[in-house]
């Protein structure tokens, strides 16, 4: 059995993150996790004045630091993203991301793309999963289910009321292949190890995570219920 968190931020990349990436990796390892997914905020227009290479290096900074520490500890660190379009505050966890996807994804978001078109484009690649994060937080819109691969039905962030019960109820209408996920949404020390998934397989790559979630859309979730 493998314990993996699907929603982790770093202070290097996410402005709201307060824990450096290497420390984040150590703390999850100490909490008994086998893997974490770094899903730093990928926001339309953020640092758009930077040269492309520098901007990509900035975005990957947290992931690289977490991975370097994870490699020392035996903790698998995967790359993901929490994407946000230019026209709203809704957040979307993106799994299956490779480092060389980041410039392309930044370009898509910076173009002013809307949610449906973004979903259609990334879905058409066959490599990504798009999961709406904490859709029932105050002021957020719930995206049509046919524009998502799944919903984060359990968000462990203790400083927000994510109304996880409403997220779970909505996701129940998504059909048998609709994916239900859990994640800590870790930004601060007291957010660590509050969510994730238990897998019956060894997940050591972004592609393996996507494949497992597709085959196990109702996989076993870690829920701490703060």
Looking at residue 94, its pLDDT comes to 98
Looking at residue 1, its pLDDT comes to 87
Looking at residue 81, its pLDDT comes to 98
Looking at residue 170, its pLDDT comes to 98
Which residue, chain included where needed, has tokens 């949404």?
Answer: 185
Looking at residue 201, its pLDDT comes to 95
Residue from 125, 127, 126, 175 nearest 150 by CA: 175
Distance CA 62, CA 103 (A): 16
Distance CA 14, CA 31 (A): 22
User: Which residues does the chain have with pLDDT short of 70?
Assistant: 226
Give the structural domain span for 193: 2-223
Looking at residue 226, its pLDDT comes to 58
Long-range contact pairs involving 167-175 (C-beta distance under 8 Å, separation at least 24):
167/134, 167/135, 167/136, 170/135, 170/136, 170/142, 170/145, 173/145, 174/145, 174/148, 174/150, 175/145
Structure tokens at 102: 């980041």
Please state the domain count of the chain. 1
CATH number of the domain where residue 194 is located: 3.20.20.140
Distance CA 184, CA 157 (A): 6
């Amino acid at each position: 059995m493998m314990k993996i968190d699907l929603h982790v931020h770093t202070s290097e990349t996410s402005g709201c993150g307060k824990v450096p990436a290497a420390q984040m990796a150590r703390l999850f390892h100490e909490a008994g996790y086998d893997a974490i997914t770094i899903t730093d905020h990928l926001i339309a227009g953020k640092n758009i004045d930077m040269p492309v290479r520098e901007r990509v290096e900035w975005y990957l900074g947290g992931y690289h630091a977490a991975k370097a520490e994870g490699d020392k500890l035996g903790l698998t660190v995967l790359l993901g993203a929490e994407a946000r379009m230019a026209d709203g505050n809704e957040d979307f966890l993106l799994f299956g991301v490779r480092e060389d996807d980041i410039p392309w994804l930044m370009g898509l978001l910076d173009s002013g793309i809307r949610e449906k078109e973004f979903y259609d484009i990334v879905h058409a690649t066959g490599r990504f999963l798009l999961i709406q994060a904490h859709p029932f937080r105050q002021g957020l819109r719930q995206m049509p289910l046919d524009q998502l691969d799944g919903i984060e039905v359990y968000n462990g962030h203790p400083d927000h009321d994510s109304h996880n019960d409403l997220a779970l109820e909505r996701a129940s209408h998504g059909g048998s292949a609709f994916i239900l996920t859990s994640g800590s949404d870790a930004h601060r020390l007291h957010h660590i190890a509050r969510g994730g998934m238990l897998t019956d397989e060894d997940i050591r790559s972004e592609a393996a995570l996507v494949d497992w979630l597709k085959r196990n859309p109702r996989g076993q979730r870690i829920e701490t219920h703060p």
